[in-house]
Chain A
């Protein structure tokens, strides 16, 4: 049962073949058996989840009308606050903090009766591409425990790939949903910026952050997308418009006549051969399904990475200023005679990890007087150019596609001392965040050279998120008929139980 899709689980629940309590317990059992190896979770809310499941079972018994995902368990990235449940963002500085309020995403999950199992591991404050930057130890890729599960949302992706949960929530600032999905053989969507409320999402880079759905199938992802999306008056950047009809698109998968644009700049040199082979194969399958493949050029994408590593650190240097030991979280050095300033300095030294400090300092520099125009200001101009590239490309194609990342999962520790090499992981995912458009990663098979999963990225214009689901569903169907089984069936079993 735990290897089923959420849709299949929902059907079993509806038919009375299993209760939500039993389904939830099965997942806790699975977590108990494999998570010592995978380390996807930072906190489990066993009592809360089982109580929530029992409540859903009771509603179902009374014949109440339930949402499509009612009673299905979910893993929540530890960057979204949930009332009374520890929220650390993978950082020591928030160790033990229990928020007194729910994020809008959590409110929406609860309103849809989706069962929140617990909080998943991540790079500290979502800064990273490997989940190695968590203060609570790395998460391991279920395909190969010596490898990274991607980041920053490595915990959520690994939980899906290890069958610890059929649904998960991630957040994506430069690829933190899509890159982990790619390297774990799962599906992840970064909705249009403003499509899902950021209220209660602990900010890394406010103008880039976006929460989104993660699952093992395109349709499961769409159902979760629909459950969490929609206008929220508590987020001023939330779009006040109907949610794109992503579920219908995922069910249809009809790409006949669609124009699919291959971004010339996001392929070729620097991309692993197995990654390129799978990408080309996917294009062929989509062409066979009736889509027209065209090539588009986005010349300014080559500056996206540089701009990203100015904008995100700048915003984070300001967003993370609130972690100062005064109102919540860690406090270090509060001895007699110490000043507030000294305590702030010491707490932030001890509470933040290396990458977070590196980015705070970089952002402080980029915003400082005399350097603003050269760095932050220029980066914002690049952002304009990237958006223009997308606008022009979308006149030639309905969606754009590329490999999600240049390589498959690398070894834990391999790049941790080379920040620039690490940053290159996000080269294909970052442009989407810069322009605020939608992006999806879904599995396109495994690379011949290492047997590890490869991701296929689909990008759709602002508030046209349904388009990536159409293409994703078409490709998923074509690949399934080619392989005969879902990609995760190729992954090694873990914990001896599966």
Chain B
């Protein structure tokens, strides 16, 4: 039940944008069998009547007024860029469609 195949790991690696060697895929798949069995224990007590908690504190409606604040300078913004050109981040060609 709680196990992952090599192909499933490969699909997850694709979704997570991590290149993986065949060896890594196989190793992770076998590690996951053990890990998933351990974490699947949460299902024992997660009954339908229990509400999920996504925030540890019950804060609500935290907003900021619509006021502009100084931005970084373009030099600061681009300071960490592996490559830049014309005050823009230069990146390898983008394949695929805009979302």
- A residues in contact (CB < 8 Å) with B: 97-101, 193-194, 207-208, 233, 236-237, 239, 300, 303, 305-307, 309-310, 317, 321, 324-331, 334, 337-346, 348-349, 352, 357-358, 360-362, 364-366, 368, 374-375, 377-385, 387, 419-420, 423, 433-436, 462
Contact = CB atoms under 8 A, between A and B. Distances in A.
Contacts of A352: 18
Contact of A100 (B19, B24, B43, B76): B76
B12 A365 contact: yes
B99 interface: no
B45 A329 contact: no
A339 B95 contact: yes
A380 B41 contact: no
A207 B16 contact: no
A360 B42 contact: no
A309 B38 contact: yes
Contacts of A99: 80
Interface residues of B, number: 53
B80 A375 contact: no
B92 A98 contact: no
Given A300-B45, A326-B89, A380-B52, A358 B31 contact: yes
A361 B92 contact: no
Contacts of B94: 339-340
Contact of A375 (B34, B39, B92): B39
A343 B18 CA distance: 10
Scoring B13, B31, B42, B80 by chain A CB atoms within 10 A of each residue's CB, the highest score goes to: B42
Nearest to B29: A361
Contact of A362 (B18, B35, B50, B93): B35
A358 B18 CA distance: 11
B34 to A, nearest CB: 6
A310 B28 contact: no
Contacts of A101: 72
Given A345-B18, A377-B46, A419 B31 contact: yes
30 contacts: A101-B72, A208-B56, A305-B38, A306-B40, A310-B39, A326-B82, A326-B89, A327-B81, A328-B80, A329-B82, A331-B82, A334-B92, A340-B93, A343-B92, A348-B17, A360-B18, A361-B9, A361-B12, A361-B32, A362-B35, A365-B32, A374-B43, A375-B39, A378-B46, A381-B42, A381-B45, A381-B46, A419-B35, A436-B56, A462-B57
Nearest to A235: B62
Scoring A236, A306, A342, A384 by chain B CB atoms within 10 A of each residue's CB, the highest score goes to: A306
A465 to B, nearest CB: 14
Nearest to B82: A331
Given A327-B89, A364-B12, A382 B56 contact: no
A358 B28 CA distance: 7
Contacts of A346: 19
B53 interface: yes
B44 interface: yes
Contact of B53 (A326, A330, A340, A387): A387
Contact of B56 (A321, A326, A331, A434): A434
A310 B53 CA distance: 13
Contacts of B56: 193-194, 207-208, 383, 387, 433-436
Nearest to B52: A380
A384 B92 contact: no
A310 B17 contact: no
A361 B10 CA distance: 10
A384 B53 contact: yes
Nearest to A362: B35
B4 interface: yes
A68 to B, nearest CB: 29
A305 B17 CA distance: 27
Contacts of A420: 34-35, 38
A384 B57 contact: no
B53 A349 contact: no
Nearest to B32: A362
A237 B91 contact: no
B18 A348 contact: yes
Contacts of A366: 39
A211 to B, nearest CB: 15
B54 A382 contact: no
Nearest to B73: A100
